[in-house]
């Protein structure tokens, strides 16, 4: 893995909008948040313009992303929001020469497309963590904002998750597993299948999360992954938050049954309870860094290296 640089006060943060647009007050809130951390927000003029789907035309969104990647005076790229649009930029991104110095990409949801490309093609370590517009709107509890600050500024060298629960015997039988975490949003990862940038989960723990997807759709996406060979040589599945997705006219979801079926059907350890995704708690998940999963007396610990360096 390639390590990113810990933040220092006064560092420039390149802000990009590869997916949906943000409203002017959300842009202002994002700027104010970075200033609160004594960082220098670089939000380019014209970053967001009227478009029927995205924050801007494909070529413009890519140009802003390319400039952020190639800028010599910054080492972090923070996404304004998710939505839809990042995967349209990946073919253009693939034509770029890999920079000599790695940068840290931060974002969730639609940004999974960029995480997957950067970790697999360029070997970078990235961070599945809250988007700027969410932080700017004060939607991240102070406890978790403090955790994120500690990770980015180097006070924390790993992220520890204590609430994982094994869903099958394969998971319950694990005592110690050294691996790395890849993945992100399930629906976005499905869009990588059959492309040159298909998610590679070999010798890795595959982290999955999603929002608003009904049980049958989650089942269908997992089946697509199985048929595409994603689960071959995978170390296991780590399920984050799956919110929404209730059946029509009901307050009930079929996700519990879906995950039960897959825990019985797949010859892989499956764990549930990673506090990451689209729910209220969005803890940072370092991608493409070393991790250790251990289990003792029924308690599961997952420690993930942040990927940062001084």
Query: Has 209 been annotated as catalytic?
Result: yes
Q: Catalytic: which of 54, 115, 235, 278?
A: 278
> Which residues are bridge partners to 271 per DSSP?
166, 238
pLDDT at position 200 is 98
Domain residue spans of the chain: 4-152, 158-309
At 167, the pLDDT band (50, 70, 90 cuts) reads very high
User: Tens of pLDDT along 61-117?
Assistant: 999 999 999 999 999 999 999 999 999 999 999 999 999 999 999 999 999 999 999
Homologous superfamily assigned to 4-152: Murein tetrapeptidase LD-carboxypeptidase, N-terminal domain (3.40.50.10740)
DSSP characters for 22-73? --HHHHHHHHHHHHHTT-EEE--TTSS---SSSSS-HHHHHHHHHHHHH-SS
Query: Has 109 been annotated as catalytic?
Result: yes
Identical fold at 4-152 and 158-309?
no
Q: Catalytic: which of 109, 204, 253, 263?
A: 109
Q: Is the pTM value of this prediction over 0.95?
A: yes
Above 80 in pLDDT, residue 1?
no
Above 80 in pLDDT, residue 48?
yes
Please, what CATH class does the domain formed by 158-309 belong to?
A: alpha beta
**Distance (Å, whole) CA 242 – CA 32:** 30
Q: Catalytic: which of 209, 235, 253, 263?
A: 209
**Distance (Å, whole) CA 113 – CA 85:** 9
């Amino acid at each position: 893995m390639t390590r990113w640089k810990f933040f220092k006060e006064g560092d420039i943060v390149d802000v990009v909008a590869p997916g949906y647009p943000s409203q002017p007050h959300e842009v202002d809130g994002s700027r104010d948040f970075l200033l609160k951390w004594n960082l220098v927000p670089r939000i380019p003029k014209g970053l967001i313009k009227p478009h029927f789907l995205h924050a801007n035309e494909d070529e413009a969104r890519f140009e802003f992303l390319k400039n952020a990647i190639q800028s010599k005076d910054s080492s972090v790229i923070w996404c304004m929001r998710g939505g839809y649009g990042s995967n349209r930029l990946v073919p253009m991104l693939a034509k770029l020469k890999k920079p000599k110095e790695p940068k840290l990409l931060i974002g969730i949801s639609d940004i999974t497309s960029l995480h997957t490309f950067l970790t697999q093609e360029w070997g970078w370590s990235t961070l599945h963590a809250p988007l700027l517009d969410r932080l700017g709107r004060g939607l991240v509890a102070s406890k978790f904002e403090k955790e994120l600050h500690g990770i980015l500024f180097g006070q924390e060298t790993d992220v520890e998750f204590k609430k994982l629960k094994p869903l099958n015997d394969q998971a319950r039988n694990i005592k110690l597993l050294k691996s790395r975490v890849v993945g992100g949003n399930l629906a976005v990862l499905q869009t990588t299948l059959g492309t040159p940038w298909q998610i590679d989960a070999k010798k890795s723990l595959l982290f999955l999360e999603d929002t608003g997807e009904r049980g049958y759709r989650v089942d269908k996406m997992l089946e697509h992954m199985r048929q595409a060979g994603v689960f071959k040589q995978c170390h296991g599945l780590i399920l984050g938050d799956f919110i929404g997705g209730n059946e029509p006219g009901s307050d009930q979801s079929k996700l519990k049954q879906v995950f039960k079926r897959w825990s019985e059907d797949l010859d892989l350890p499956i764990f549930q309870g990673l506090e990451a995704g689209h729910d209220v708690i969005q803890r940072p998940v370092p991608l493409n860094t070393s991790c250790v999963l251990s289990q003792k007396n029924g308690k599961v610990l997952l420690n993930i290296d942040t990927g940062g360096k001084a």
